[in-house]
Copies of this chain bind each other. A is one copy, B any other.
Amino acid sequence: MSQDRDDDIRRVVGGGHDFESMAAVLNVYRAATSIRNQIERKLLNRHGLSWGGFTALFVLWIWGPMESHRLADECGLAKGTLSGVLTTLERRDLIRRNRLSSDRRRVEVVATGAGLELVKAVYPEFNRLETDVTSSLTGEEKRLLADMLGRLRRTAEGIG
């Protein structure tokens, strides 16, 4: 946020507001959408993957098969949203749903061979884009950024 914009805002909304917090929140959101859009455009679209789809596949790769509610949590998605994402992935044979015999309400989600192959192929380039996108920060800054954002997120979720 440039100083000019900041001044415009102060002038219009008046005093008694918390501009530091506003700038922090605004920048978190803007940076996130920029990163997501760039990575989708430059990489994921080409492989027919959405951000959410790639995330799910990545989680299943790292931690192996898991139940749907936990996968939703790991991906940061509402369960209804995850259901749709999984349907898309399933249509392309990248994941499978297995109903648990021990509790037929639950569903275990498993990446197929093709799913694992895809995420393994895409991840290196994904990581390279992460590096590119954060190239204006030092290693120490990246750690600091991640730490501050982690606190921010825990606070936000704690408020709910």
Contact = CB atoms under 8 A, between A and B. Distances in A.
Interface of A: 1, 8-9, 12-13, 17-18, 20-36, 38, 41-42, 61-63, 76, 123-124, 127-137, 139, 141-146, 148-157, 159-160
B134 A21 contact: yes
B157 A34 contact: yes
Given A30-B149, A38-B156, A137-B151, 5 more contacts: A13-B62, A21-B134, A24-B143, A35-B152, A41-B160
A153 B31 contact: yes
- Chain A at the B interface: SS class: helix
Copies of this protein in the assembly total 2
A32 to B, nearest CB: 3
A41 B160 CA distance: 9
